Amino acid sequence: MRIRSLRASAVRLLVTAGCSLLPTVVYGQLIRRGPAASATSGEISGTTYDSLGGRILPAATVQLAPAQAPQRARTLVSDADGRFLFDSLPQGTYLLGLQHPLLDSLGVQLPLTAVTLLGAHVRVSLGVPSATTLRNRLCGPQSLRDSTGLLIARLRDAVSDLPRTEGQIRATWVESAIVDGRLQRLPRSVIDSTSDEGLVLLCDLPLGVNALVRGWSGTDSSGAAPIVIPPDGVLRRDVRIAPVQVTVVREAGDGAGPAASALLSGPGILRGILRRPDGRSVAGARVQVTGSVGRDTSDAEGRFVLRNLPLGSHMLEVRAVGFIPFRLAVDVSGKDKPPIDLTLEAFLPRLDAVRVVGERAAKSQGLREFAVRSKGGFGTFFDEGFLTDFNPTVMTDILRQVAGVRIIRGRVGENVQMQGGLGWSSMCFPTVFIEGVRVLLDEQTSINDLVPAQDVVALEVYVRSASVPAQFMSQDGCGSIVIWTGSRKRAAPGGVVPPPGA
């Protein structure tokens, strides 16, 4: 875990005015001179920009004061097009300042810009710094070279919405790497403490990678909310926290007994509507706030209601057959707010190019061995024909079909466990193999995040360690899950090959 101690109160960004439409404007120093200095008064006008968002910045507060008499300040608010104009100004040097809630949320304080009026008119542009400027000044030039990003977050109370101090925010993600011939998922994290205004700056985050952010102060905490740093490298996201309440929920299990999950709960409520891209409703979708007691299934009109939710920032998960599963960061409150409107993206299966080859000859060596093992009667096997007909949304949809496999709701999604391990005394995490390469699985990693269920063409599950082939054996005596991926095609009728006695 990397810890970057970057107290936000000590790194107020000092940048000057942004890009100008006029080539004669110099950053922070204007100064475009008018015709001859014959007029005794003139005007200063300009435009306010949001360089971070690449757009005009309306409703920005602009202040102007004579450099020699700053107490004689004049204040304007830029219009819907970001324009402002100060007229009837005596010639001389003036100081311009810009204020806007966006600057406050970024923890950025712009210095005053000096403008000298010697003619009838001067035009200047003021703006929020660009993403490149923010990354360079707050994270250093290395951030631009490494293609890493910046999260600007403020820790807030979920009830009062006021900033919380003496807290921390941590971002975590997983990187895949080949170590000693094995594909390993290596956890990475960055953590920082809040400033006196509740502000936290997290550098070194990878661009375009799914990450989880969590905040806390004392015993108050948020859930694990998903984030993705955009291509420009800067994301702003408030993290809301609340007291933690845990409820133990026992759900129907298998022969190993009922599964007990410690889940978060509280007085929160969240309503929503699920739609297709064409606007039609999506019925039968599974909706839940990860790690909490709140779950529901959308009705015929696509509506869902999640109750007894923990307050604060959390992860909303939506899964529906025929649609791509997705996660969304939500802020749960105790108030019954209007429903959120969500559009699901349809899953489009990938089609192989037409190749004139024998079907069996085109199979990989791994799939040929899969076919041989499926006839041996040790383990449970799901072939391409079954997976095509079943059309699972996530991996745990398939694994629920296997006796001896337990699916437990965890803080980061659904965890897979088997009864076994050394001594068969408790539940254990199975070893996962993808294309024959070992992948580490633990309580911080959901198998649903390892590979999309739509990409699986064959699956073999060994619940008992005694039945696991030598090449797929675990090191702790737990069972194994072997996954083969590719593009599915309609195959000859197949299905599940159960283990003996099942």
Beta strands in 67-112, from DSSP E residues, in sequence order: 74-77, 83-90, 92-99
| Count of other CB atoms within 10 angstroms of residue 27 | 13
Q: For 134, phi and psi rounded to 5 degrees? A: -60, -45
CATH of 359-497, one of 3.40.50.300, 2.40.50.140, 1.10.540.10, 2.170.130.10: 2.170.130.10
Q: What angle do CA 276, 282, 286 make, to 5 degrees?
A: 125
Q: What is the pLDDT, as a whole number, of residue 494?
A: 46
Q: What is the pLDDT, as a whole number, of residue 418?
A: 84
Q: Which residue has the tokens 């929160």?
A: 268
- Give me the long-range contacts of 337-340 (CB less than 8 A, separation at least 24): 337/271, 338/271, 339/271, 339/272, 339/273, 339/303, 340/270, 340/271, 340/272, 340/273
DSSP-based three-state secondary structure for 115? strand
Domain boundaries, the chain: 19-128, 141-243, 247-343, 359-497
Does this model's pTM top 0.85?
no
Q: For 467, phi and psi rounded to 5 degrees? A: -95, -5
Q: What is the pLDDT, as a whole number, of residue 202?
A: 94
Mean pLDDT by groups of 10 residues along the chain of 502 residues: 39 33 30 44 92 89 93 93 94 92 80 89 90 86 82 94 93 78 74 92 91 93 93 92 85 53 87 94 92 91 95 92 87 89 78 41 70 85 89 87 83 76 65 82 74 87 84 80 80 47 41
The CATH H-level superfamily of 247-343 is Carboxypeptidase-like, regulatory domain (2.60.40.1120)
Question: What CATH fold (topology level) applies to the domain 19-128?
Answer: Immunoglobulin-like (2.60.40)
Asked whether the domain spanning 141-243 has the same topology as the one spanning 19-128, the reply is yes
Q: What is the pLDDT, as a whole number, of residue 1?
A: 47
Q: Which two tokens stand for residue 249?
A: 């929920």
Q: What is the pLDDT, as a whole number, of residue 23?
A: 27
- At the second CATH level, the architecture of 141-243 is Sandwich (2.60)
